[in-house]
Amino acid sequence: MTAEQPQRPVRYSSSPAPSGLRGAAVKAMTRLMNSSNQDRVIRTGLPDRLNFPPISARPFTRGVAHYGIMIPDLPPPHRFLANLIIMGSTGFRAWDDNDIPVGSPRRTSQLGWGSAATTGDSLHVFDADDLHHESDGSVLQFGDNYRIAITYPEISLQAQLQGLDVDLRLTSTDVNTWVSDSGIYRHFTLLCAYEGQIALTDSGERQQVKGMCTFEYGTGYLPYMDLPRPLPKALKIPADFFSYHVIAIDHETQLVACVMGAFGDLTAGMAGDIRTAEDGSRRLGISSTFEVTTFDSKPISYHGRSRMVMPSTFRWTFVESDGSTSYIDGEVDTQWLYAGMGYIAGYRWSGVIDGLPRDGRAYTEYSDRRS
């Protein structure tokens, strides 16, 4: 970042709705995907079928699949767990890295992996020959060192990658938040309790961990997913900014918040949901804003590509119908890990939620491909 080329501001708000031709295109895209917005809850409850099928090798079927286990508040030195899988190519500018050396997108899977304590490459790319899976998604295994097994509501993760050894057991609470629910893409996030062990293999010291996390699943299809190569940037869906947050409010309460931007400065969708196992999921506020308040002084990149200027501090604001405000002030205090779809980090936060002062830790994904 230089004085001649200042960092482009980041500020997205759920209202007013975007206008003009680009605004009409954004509205059409969100309607087609049936995406959630702050003032629009698209669906509640669990999906009709509790299976999690991966990408298909056959054309005209599932062309992308996404899995994630996100933990926002691990003890030091880890702070957070990044565990994000994308199988195939989404066609969204914010999420695709066309420089990943791949053949057919349907044969390619990406895993963003690590914690605040890991070093080395955080992005792992697998060919279909490295993947073993069951057609219903009950087993997903990359090579010999990474395995997810799902017998709902139980989910297990065993992995030894890049010096990080993880053995976790998740139990879904049946509390679910829908991000999108359409024939072309459906994505939901389950509130889960977890317990298990995590260790750095070099030290051999194992930590017992437990708490609340998310299990994410998304899948979809559009015709370009059958192409032998990812779409060139100029032809991708112009959703070019994305940030997702899993925020630990306390040991039982979680806030998930997401923002997607399009055409450089238009809000394509954003929402925040408070969740507990006892009370379920509820939308926080009738309007919301996400704003980066300070940026890092220099951009980062991954092996010379995916160059971005990352946020140092930011604020989420949620306004209720009576005018009362909840807010989160976040400050990134870990390294950023590259995950193909963007970068992942942990942060500390303070703020006010439902009138009460709060603070804690959180997990974030961030991708700014507006240029």
d(CA 360, CA 363): 11
**pLDDT of 290:** 98
**Residues 309-339: pLDDT tens digits?**
999 999 999 999 999 999 999 999 999 999 9
State the Cα–Cα distance between residues 30 and 25, nearest whole angstrom: 9
> At residue 347, what is the residue type?
Y
CA–CA gap between residue 67 and residue 6 (Å, rounded)? 35
pTM over 0.85: yes
pLDDT digits (tens, 9 = 90+) for 27-83: 999 999 999 999 999 999 999 999 999 998 889 999 999 999 999 999 999 999 999
Residue 102 confidence (pLDDT): 66
pLDDT at residue number 359: 98
Give pLDDT, residue 3.
44
pLDDT band at 101 (very low <50, low <70, confident <90, very high): low
Spatial CA neighbour of 150 closest among 83, 246, 221, 217: 217
pLDDT digits (tens, 9 = 90+) for 105-148: 899 999 999 999 999 899 999 998 999 999 999 999 999 999 99
